[in-house]
Amino acid sequence: MATSYQEDDYFASGAEFTDNVDQRESLGKVFEVIFLFGLMIGIFVLALLLFDILGDGLGRFLSPGFLTDTPSRFPDQGGIRPAIVSSILLGLVVIFVTVPIGVGAALYLEEYAPKAWWTAIIEINISNLAGVPSIVYGLLGLGVFNYLLGFGPALISGALTLSLLSLPVIIVTSREAIRAVPDSLRNASYGLGVTKWKTISSHVIPYAVPGILTGVIISVSRAIGDAASLIVVGAVGFLTFDPGLFQRFMALPIQIYSYITRPEPGFASAAAATIIALLLLILALNGVAIYIRQRFSIR
Amino acid sequence: MQNSTSQDDPYLLPRQSLDKDISEDILERIVEAILFACALVSVLTTFGIVIIIFQETFSFFQEVSFAQFFLDTKWTPLFAERHFGIWPLINGTFLTTVIAMSVAIPLGLCSAIYLSEYAQPKVAAVLRPAVELLAGVPTVVYGYFALLFLTPLLRNFIPLEIFNSLSAGVMMGIMITPTVGSISLDAIKSVPRSLREGAYALGITKLETIFKVVLPAALSGIIASIILGISRAVGETMTVLIAAGLQPKLTVSFAESIATMTAYMAQISGGDSPRGSLNFKTLYAVGAVLFVLTLSLNIVSYWIANRYKEKYE
């Protein structure tokens, strides 16, 4: 009666088929825990980091004058005001430069650009620029702003360098925001005989504002936290006055780096305290973004 | 019929009145030109980088031969006896990158798999941003943490120098975890449900489905994320500058102080070398190597990610 030789052999052998499902499922449970563990390590390190920095620096951060004094040679004296002023100025210039250019570029690529080889090049180029290391942007800034345009190691050179650094991020996120605007909105506007730019400026942009703002905040907080490019452009580690646009400058990350590299023990807690200030600044920026996004979303 | 113009048709307004005035048309063109100029800034940035870096690098190679740069095994441009062999810097970069990736790849993949396959949507909505916060922390902060927390901690167990590639690499890996994680997550999520259901229907467990069906299907995206992570690690500066030191040497020991390309660049530009000096030019020569390296990694990653993108659509 044998029609299928294998089957018969199998049953003839007397072995019982087992799928080991319990064992396999329990291995699955083990791996689920491993995956979760891998995920939690990052979050755990983040928590540890914040805890460590608060422990090291909170006392110094709360000491009188830390935010409002100029730096001192002694670790437990003086403050970080020039660094704070520098960072805020840098952030403002970055916003003023990158928002118009970045949103403009995003609008061009989404609304105007024809599908052609040169627009493809622009797109690939932008995604590549997003991966260029910050220190290479420093070389660009040094060459163009310090020497070619003659600004020297001034705040404006650093700010423009950071602007170029954050531009790709703003373009990419703004494009996503603009792409998410429904086409029906544009078509309705065109249907009423409104011109292209009027449609964009009065409908597309307002609709995309929350998304664009998110991108702006992400890239500005990245720019404010960046140190490598500023070191190359010529930021200084010690400044006793609040810088203007065309003066020597520092920044909070540069201040942190300069504190870390000093051997005297007290500077470590000054560095931690400065980190607290930097993180608070970034947190405040993000808070503003969330607030604005929520206000614009309710319509 | 062909020539029925608006004049003949009482229901159509004369074309003239529908047309907005000419100035509006000009405005449209001006706006388009301005927006185009904005898009061009990115291209100009790339040209700027290429021209400036390679101009100085060219003049560097007029003073230092290719052989000195690529065959010498010592990097001592600041000493009396000068050597310009790039390998010690590449060695340092390679070492920290390997350490960073051996942290970032498992952690990134674990996060991606858990978030996509196991976590409830509500839990994932909280955990994903939490992991991505890691990428938002300024890199000096990781440097601080590596030098003043991780190194002292590890020194209880392993004989490490104060500056070492291990703690710098580990911190860099934690920092890069979200890069690997979120791109892999997108790749894993784009694997169609039907593939998983097909596997379940054959009686395969969830874990087996993940390893034998989902991960192979998402492989191109995962590889792209890893290459992008490598590129990040190669270009990262502050963490290695602070925690790994400034000793260019050829070593595979993770316990010693080394120097990466980026750390050397930060060191030399902090030292105020006058423009035009050979020291100043080394900054650009090393920068050129770094730029070419990261650019090729980015291009490869972009190419892999795009090549297999449409497979399931």
Contact criterion met (CB below 8 Å) for A154 and A144:
no
How much is the pLDDT for B114?
Answer: 96
φ, ψ at A71 (rounded to 5°)? -65, 160
Tell if the CB–CB gap between B207 and A107 is shorter than 8 Å: no
pLDDT interval class at A84 (50, 70, 90): very high
Kind and range of the H or E run holding B66: helix B66-71
- Average per-residue pLDDT in chain B? 89
CA A253/CA A227 separation, integer angstroms: 6
CA A102/CA A96 separation, integer angstroms: 10
Residues 6+ apart with CB under 8 A from B29: none
Quick one: average pLDDT of B179-203? 93
HSE-CB of A193 using CA atoms within 13 angstroms = 5
pLDDT tens digit string along A224-267?
A: 999 999 999 999 888 888 888 999 999 999 999 999 998 888 89
Residue of A nearest to B141 (CA): A275
CA B147/CA B75 separation, integer angstroms: 24
* DSSP 8-state assignment for residue A112: I
Contact criterion met (CB below 8 Å) for A128 and B299:
yes
> Which of A105, A113, A253 comes nearest B138 by C-beta?
A253
Q: Is A222 within a domain?
A: yes
How much is the pLDDT for B271?
Answer: 66
CA distances from A253 to A21, B55, B83, B148, B244 (A): 55, 30, 32, 16, 18
pLDDT tens digit string along B8-17?
A: 565 655 555 5
Would the pLDDT of B3 be above 80? no
How much is the pLDDT for A12?
Answer: 64
CA B302/CA B3 separation, integer angstroms: 53
How much is the pLDDT for B17?
Answer: 53
Chain A CB within 8 Å of residue B145 CB: yes
Contact criterion met (CB below 8 Å) for B187 and B222:
yes
How much is the pLDDT for A10?
Answer: 60
pLDDT interval class at B170 (50, 70, 90): very high
Q: Establish, for the pair of chains A and B, how many residue pairs have beta carbons separated by less than 8 Å.
A: 257
Domain coordinates in residue numbering, chain B: 24-63, 75-308
The fold of the B75-308 domain, in CATH, is MetI-like fold (1.10.3720)
Q: Which residues of A touch B127 (CB under 8 A)?
A: 39, 43
Q: Is A209 within a domain?
A: yes
How much is the pLDDT for A264?
Answer: 85
Could you tell me how many helices (H) and strands (E) chain B has, helices first?
A: 15, 0
Tell if the CB–CB gap between A127 and B302 is shorter than 8 Å: yes
Contact criterion met (CB below 8 Å) for A59 and B134:
no
Q: How many CB atoms lie within 10 A of CB B228?
A: 24
Q: Which sign, positive or negative, has the C-alpha torsion B136, B138, B143, B146?
A: negative
Would the pLDDT of A297 be above 80? no
Q: Is A117 within a domain?
A: yes
> Which of A19, A43, A275 comes nearest B144 by C-beta?
A275
pLDDT tens digit string along B41-58?
A: 999 999 999 999 999 999
Q: How many CB atoms lie within 10 A of CB A23?
A: 11
Place of tokens 């500005």: A220
pLDDT tens digit string along B12-39?
A: 555 555 555 677 788 889 999 999 999 9
Q: What is the largest CA-CA distance in chain B?
A: 96
pLDDT interval class at B82 (50, 70, 90): confident
Q: Residue A287 is part of which domain span?
A: 80-298
- Average per-residue pLDDT in chain A? 89
CA A179/CA B262 separation, integer angstroms: 37
Chain B CB within 8 Å of residue A225 CB: yes
Tell me the β-bridge partners of A71: A78
Tell me the β-bridge partners of A78: A71
Q: What percent of chain B has pLDDT over 70?
A: 91
ipTM score assigned to the predicted complex? 0.89
Chain A CB within 8 Å of residue B137 CB: yes
Tell me the β-bridge partners of B75: B84
Which range has highest mean pLDDT (B93-102, B202-211, B304-313)? B93-102
Contact criterion met (CB below 8 Å) for A70 and A81:
yes
Q: Which residues of B touch A260 (CB under 8 A)?
A: 140, 143-144, 147-148, 242
CA B158/CA B165 separation, integer angstroms: 13
HSE-CB of A188 using CA atoms within 13 angstroms = 8
Task: List alpha helices for chain A, DSSP H.
Answer: 5-12, 21-62, 81-107, 117-129, 134-141, 155-179, 183-191, 196-199, 205-225, 228-233, 252-260, 266-297
CATH number for the domain including A273? 1.10.3720.10
How much is the pLDDT for B120?
Answer: 94
Tell if the CB–CB gap between A105 and B35 is shorter than 8 Å: yes
Tell if the CB–CB gap between B140 and A136 is shorter than 8 Å: no
**Domains identified in chain A, total number:** 1
Tell if the CB–CB gap between A167 and B299 is shorter than 8 Å: no
Tell me the β-bridge partners of B84: B75
Place of tokens 């960046």: A226
In this structure, of A75-79, A109-113, B5-9, the range with the lowest mean pLDDT score is B5-9
Chain A CB within 8 Å of residue B283 CB: yes
Residues 6+ apart with CB under 8 A from B224: B183, B187, B301, B302, B304, B305
Higher pLDDT pick, A183 / A13:
A183
pLDDT tens digit string along B250-283?
A: 999 999 999 999 999 999 887 667 888 888 999 9
pTM summary value = 0.90
